[in-house]
Amino acid sequence: MSIKTIPHFLNGAESNGNGSRTQPVYNPATGEQTGELRLADAADLQAAVANAKAAAESWNDISLARRTAVLFKFRELVAAHADELAALITAEHGKVISDAKGEIGRGLEVIEFACGVPQLLKGAYSDQASTGIDVFSYRQPLGVVAGITPFNFPVMVPLWMAPVAIATGNAFILKPSERDPSPSLLLAKLWKEAGLPDGVFQVLHGGKETVDGLLTHPDVDAISFVGSTPIAKYVHETATAHGKRVQALGGAKNHAIILPDADLDNAADHLAAAAFGSAGERCMAISVAVAVGDAADDLVIKVKERAEAVKVAEGTEPDAEMGPIITPASRDRMKGIVTAAADAGAELVVDGREFTVAGKEGGNWFGPTVIDKVTTDMEAYSEEIFGPVLSVVRIDTVEEAIDFINANPYGNGTAIFTSSGANARKFHRGVHVGMIGINVPIPVPVAYHSFGGWKNSLFGDKHIYGEEGVAFYTRAKVVTSRWPEPKQHSGASYNFPSN
Ligand code: NAD
């Protein structure tokens, strides 16, 4: 297999950059190296920021009508290249093709939302706010913004950010995950083909050094980050200390409550899909099932049947439902966590630790796993496993289940399965979590709402995309204006102005 070089995309063209360092990229289903990623050095970072700064100034002067035309064209190009993008995602991330297409679909929604930017930037006007005085307010872009993204959604997460940042008049630098960087280059080419001026969307590859360079650069105005909690916290602290606006979305431990009055077959279907889909490598995956009252025994039997039936294979197989884990290191970490839970007395109902795919033994395989009677002192509960592992916790009442969720340090997503509207209402009003599903296991909001968690799942005060995204990438300006008739001067007034 030939190994491709994966370049940056700077100022409208692919570039190997100045830096000499590289990093291997693998296919997680085979374990084979498929790419050599160029890593930026300090000069590459300086060049990217300088390009973006120059591009932002002219891009903000381009009419809303022309900006919108670029967004519409980009939307059409992403849709037309969905197969190609999905193949790139699966080759480096490992998720199944249908799932890769699903993330592209969610990304398209955000582009469609951003196509409505003229409406979103309309501003407000108060006629005759005081005698002869009008007041109007509107929002202007920040300038240069950077997006630092995780491996698990190499297309969707960059598309949560860039369309809104660009539509509102900013230049955007994407620092993608080093594990699956190729889809971001195709996105860059599609932006260019859509007519976006050079330098408005750039891709700069690198690790901590590059991230630190963006967090501290005086010409970078804002940082959007999505990734694990320790890095989100670090990014938020470092970039705010350097005067930047920051939204840093972190990790998760998402609980689903299953009440005895729920349709347990329906709940088990959704739980299995939410726990094992995309090999559990979703920040909105359900990793803890909170079985309330006597729901537990039947639920565990039903989830077990579904976990054992999941078709695990290379993501390119037409009937594959779940692919490999991103790295051997994450797979081994999961094995350790599951083993420790079993040793501490939890029941291993389905054990995926030794799972492998015949003929693909070099891949990072881990089968769907269900652990019952998990307790909070086990790492299976306290750690974000980020794999196809569902822990079951047994609790007596819905009130205790809500308190249990609220005691967890994460607050990204949560769900309830019930046929009681009263319990559902008690739940959504009472949980300290940002995104809530009622009989919906993975409640990722549509693009015209907004995405974000609470507590250790989001550092910063603005969600990503939706109107919160527009507010994040712009700042308000308020103009108070008076146009006196010629020669009608009111004379100097030394009092505080009154109306
Ligand atoms: P990660 O935190 O390891 O990496 C995310 C980004 O940060 C990458 O671009 C990486 O290069 C960079 N990075 C890594 N270490 C760094 C360091 N020490 N200093 C500066 N930058 C660094 O996350 P990941 O493993 O790629 O992704 C999985 C994590 O992302 C999970 O915790 C998952 O829950 C989270 N996630 C959260 C959301 C959300 O919306 N809240 C969405 C997707 C993923």
**Cβ–ligand 1 contact at 465 (below 6 Å):** no
d(CA 394, CA 372) in angstroms, rounded, equals 8
**489 or 235: whose pLDDT is higher?**
235
Nearest CA to ligand 1 atom 27: 150
- Residue 196 scores a pLDDT above 70: yes
pLDDT higher than 80, residue 441: yes
Least confident of 29-33, 143-147, 487-491: 487-491
Our answer on whether the CB atom of 285 is closer than 6 Å to any ligand 1 atom is no
Note whether residue 497 is domain-resident.
Answer: no
Q: What is the DSSP letter of 280?
A: G
C-alpha span between 289 and 257 (Å, rounded): 6
Q: For ligand 1, atom 20, which residue shows the shortest CA distance? A: 208
218 and 140 in one domain?
yes
* Catalytic residue check, 115: no
- On the question of pLDDT at 491 being above 90, the answer is no
- Give the distance from CA 485 to its chain's centroid: 54
Amino acid identity of residue 431, one-letter, is V
CATH code of residue 69: 3.40.605.10
Tell me the C-alpha distance between 289 and 275, whole Å: 9
Per-residue pLDDT, averaged over 46-55, amounts to: 98
Q: Does residue 275 register a pLDDT over 80?
A: yes
Query: Which atom belonging to ligand 1 lies closest to the Cα atom of 206?
Result: 11
Query: Would you say the CB of residue 177 lies under 6 angstroms from ligand 1?
Result: yes
Residue 392 structural domain: 254-438
Rounded to an integer, the average pLDDT of 36-45 is 98
Q: Domain for residue 483, yes or no?
A: no
Look at residues 438, 467, 491 and tell me which one is the last residue of a structural domain.
438
Predicted pLDDT of residue 294: 94
Note whether 263 and 219 are same-domain residues. Answer: no
Q: Cβ distance 116 to 193 under 8 Å?
A: no
In angstroms, what is the span from residue 283 Cα to ligand 1's centroid?
10
- 116-132 mean pLDDT: 96
**Ligand 1 center from residue 235 Cα (angstroms):** 10
In the block, tokens 């009252």 appear at 293
Reported confidence tier of residue 373, pLDDT bands at 50, 70, 90: very high
419 found inside a domain: yes
| Number of domains present in the structure of the chain | 2
In a domain, 488, yes or no: no
- Whether 225 shows a pLDDT value over 80: the answer reads yes
What mean pLDDT comes out for the span 222-232?
98
Whether 240 and 319 share a structural domain: no
- The continuous run of DSSP H or E covering 204 comes out as none
Contact between 215 and 234 under an 8 Å Cβ cutoff? The reply is no
**Structure confidence at residue 492 as a pLDDT band (50, 70, 90):** confident
Q: What tokens appear for 275 in the block?
A: 């726990």
User: Does 208 sit in the ligand 1 pocket, CB within 6 Å?
Assistant: yes
Atom in ligand 1 nearest the alpha carbon of residue 231: 2
E-assigned strands of 303-431?
347-350, 369-372, 389-395, 410-411, 413-417
65-97 pLDDT tens trace: 999 999 999 999 999 999 999 999 999 999 999
**Rounded Cα distance, 395 and 96, in Å:** 35
Ligand 1 atom with least separation from CA of 215: 20
* CATH number of the domain within which 417 lies: 3.40.309.10
Average pLDDT score, the chain: 97
Pair 374, 466 in one domain? no
| Per-residue pLDDT at 497 | 72
**What pLDDT, on a 0 to 100 scale, did the predictor assign at position 494?**
85
Provide the pLDDT for residue 499: 67
pLDDT the model gives residue 495: 81
Instruction: Write out 399-468 in H/E/C secondary structure.
Output: HHHHHHHHCCCEECEEEEECCCHHHHHHHHHHCCCCEEEECCCCCCCCCCCCECCEECCEECCCCECHHH
**Sheet strand arrangement including 33-38:** 4-6, 33-38, 22-26
From 121, 155, 264, 283, the catalytic residue: 283
